[in-house]
Amino acid sequence: MSGTRNEEEKQRLDKEDQKNDQIREMGQVILDKNEGKRRVELLTIIGEVEGHESAPSQSKTTKYEHVLPKLALVEDDEEIEGLLVLLNTVGGDVEAGLAIAEMIASLSIPTVSLVLGGGHSIGVPMAVSADYSFVVPSATMVIHPVRSNGTFIGVAQTYRNMEKIQDRITAFIAGHSRITQKRLEELMLDTTQLVKDVGTMLEGKEAVEEGLIDEVGGIREALEKLHSMIEDKKRDKNEEVNSFFNDFL
């Protein structure tokens, strides 16, 4: 009997070690200690979103080659019932950020995002990609035009390419929030707010008023909303099954 208890304790400790390793390596963990025993995957987007090129070693980064496979695993795992995304990012690689945003938006499970600290630049599409979004009152979101560094061989062609990239970003944001593409472009080109750049910085409440984010709130509100969405999905699924059997009978 004691051998069984020792084996169970060893398994429990192994699971705790795995969770701690996930948090240390990628800021990911499964939340399943809630009252309803709902299994929620936690994903953090922290620091700079790293794309095809490595960021300096001293930079805090989120690597998209880690996030994309994880999101695919979340979609494939029938035990995962929801996804909570925590964001505190300065932005980063546009293509990588859009790839992550598109993956989150295409998940079949309920998703909720929470902006903490900052959701700047390409962090904006990732914040709005969830089914429902929150922002804490002290957080900021920076909206600015697409920028590029380096030597431009063809200025006109480069400009058109950047314009197309910007259109993809604004279209995605407008398609997953209540703000219009026209209003986004106005905020991007504002010259009165940022000293060394054009664009707009929105605080938490302002982001909600603009229709960018759904609601001001913190981790409690975000988890409550996600749990509610999970229960709604379960209820809808049960109603579909009952309806099918009633029609069949």
Q: State the catalytic residues.
A: 121, 144
- Residue that the structure tokens 């025993």 belong to: 37
DSSP state of 36: T
Contact yes or no for 104/70 (Cβ under 8 A) = no
Closest CA to 44 of 121, 110, 123: 123
Strand 111-119 and strand 82-92: pairing?
Answer: parallel
126 contact partners, CB below 8 Å, separation of at least 6: 45, 49, 85, 87, 89, 97, 100, 101, 104, 113, 119
Q: Count the Cβ atoms, other than its own, within 10 Å of residue 131.
A: 19
